[in-house]
Amino acid sequence: MNPLRLAQLEMFCAVVEEGTVVGASRRLNCVASNVTARLRELELLLERDLFVRTKGRLNLTPEGRLFYRQAVPLIRGAQDLAGLFADKTPRGILTVGALDVALQGYLPSVVPQFLENCPGVELRMLMRPTYTIERMLMDGEIDLALTDGPIVHPMMDSRFAFREDLALVLPQGQEVPQEGQHVFLFNTDCFYRRYFEIWLRKQGVTSSIIHTVESYDVILACVRAGLGISCFPQSILAGVAGERRQGMEILYPADLQGSEVYFVWREPGVTDLARQFVDFAEKLHSFTKNE
């Protein structure tokens, strides 16, 4: 069966609502013969008579009444779609992949105000580790990324968002990592994990057992219990206060430098909606810094 066309439905509904083919042709600004031809095509496709034709009149058949009831919402929906972007209000579904540090420390001040200014935008914000975000961006699964940068790639471009410092977290009374000591870190697709592993080797710590634990709360509990050490982003530690900091040493070694987090997008260019989000975040944080 050939698919129905929107023009056929529009002409059918116009005839029903205007009462005649001539009235429908005037409403649609076309010749009456065109309307008649489209109605015939529609009835042939459906293999049903939609009208009872008498001299000078068109009356709906029972099948025609049912078809009209089903067609009206489709026509109205199409009209709504045609005007979806007419008022230039930002609209769309924007998918952003972000590091946990961005969702914890940077985006909470951005997202509420962005949505207040752009109520027609639906946001999908996904928390993923560094290398997963980069793969999703290359595959077109996300529109925009907030990840470690800058990114040097011929198919990507980036803009600085914020700097993330890293802290060395040890059991209370300990000031340096020890050879053979247990280490608690996130999964291997996390940039900070690989960065900290390299840092440990530079400190001469090469035989430690590294546990993969994807929970900051569990990692902190293990460190407080004296079972080992970890590396924490400062944005995550900012939410750890009071009793949860007891039993630990939190240090910021000069050579554990952290990283810069960037907005990253695919070339040949960021989408209009993604660029609006980046511009808004940059302007908001520039204003906040200057206060």
Task: Based on the fold, state whether residues 135 and 275 are members of the same structural domain.
Answer: yes
Res 287 pLDDT > 60: no
The band of 188, judged by pLDDT with boundaries at 50, 70 and 90, is confident
Q: What DSSP letter does each residue of 19-32 carry, written as one string?
A: SSHHHHHHHHTS-H
Number of domains comprising the chain: 3
Q: How far apart are CA 144 and CA 245, in angstroms?
A: 34
Among 56, 84, 112, residue at a domain's last position:
84
Domain containing 101 — which CATH number? 3.40.190.10
Residue 288, pLDDT score: 52
The listed range with the strongest mean pLDDT (142-146, 239-243, 246-250) is 142-146
Task: Based on the fold, state whether residues 174 and 57 are members of the same structural domain.
Answer: no
Task: Based on the fold, state whether residues 273 and 156 are members of the same structural domain.
Answer: yes
Q: Round the average pLDDT of the chain to a whole number and report it.
A: 89
Q: Which two tokens stand for residue 20?
A: 């005649």
Q: Cβ contacts of residue 218 below 8 Å, gap of 6+?
A: 184
Residue 237, pLDDT score: 85
Task: Based on the fold, state whether residues 59 and 186 are members of the same structural domain.
Answer: no
Tell me the mean pLDDT in the region 260-289: 85
Res 1 pLDDT > 70: no
Task: Based on the fold, state whether residues 71 and 178 are members of the same structural domain.
Answer: no
Task: Based on the fold, state whether residues 156 and 102 are members of the same structural domain.
Answer: yes
Residue 193 is assigned to a structural domain of this protein: yes
> pLDDT for 94-143, tens place per residue?
999 999 899 988 999 999 999 999 999 999 999 998 889 989 998 989 99
Residue 172, pLDDT score: 92
Task: Based on the fold, state whether residues 182 and 125 are members of the same structural domain.
Answer: no
Percentage of the chain beyond pLDDT 90 is: 60
Residue 127, pLDDT score: 92
Residue 234 is assigned to a structural domain of this protein: yes
Range of the domain at 215: 166-251
Task: Based on the fold, state whether residues 71 and 186 are members of the same structural domain.
Answer: no
Res 290 pLDDT > 70: no
Residue 268, pLDDT score: 78
Task: Based on the fold, state whether residues 154 and 275 are members of the same structural domain.
Answer: yes
The band of 168, judged by pLDDT with boundaries at 50, 70 and 90, is very high
What are the helix (H) ranges across the chain? 6-18, 21-28, 32-46, 62-82, 100-101, 111-117, 130-138, 191-202, 216-224, 234-237, 272-290
Q: What DSSP letter does each residue of 78-110 carry, written as one string?
A: HHHHHTTTTT----EEEEEEE-HHIIIIIGGGT
Residue 107, pLDDT score: 94
Q: Which two tokens stand for residue 265?
A: 């997008």
Task: Based on the fold, state whether residues 154 and 185 are members of the same structural domain.
Answer: no
Q: How far apart are CA 187 and CA 185, in angstroms?
A: 7
Q: How far apart are CA 40 and CA 55, in angstroms?
A: 17
Residue 282 is assigned to a structural domain of this protein: yes
Residue 1 is assigned to a structural domain of this protein: no
Using N-to-C axis directions, what is the helix angle for 6-18 and 32-46, rounded to 10°?
110
Residue 41 is assigned to a structural domain of this protein: yes
pTM: 0.76
Task: Based on the fold, state whether residues 170 and 159 are members of the same structural domain.
Answer: no
User: Exposure pattern of 89-106 as b/e (b: 16+ CB <10 Å)?
Assistant: ebebebbbbbbbbbbbbb
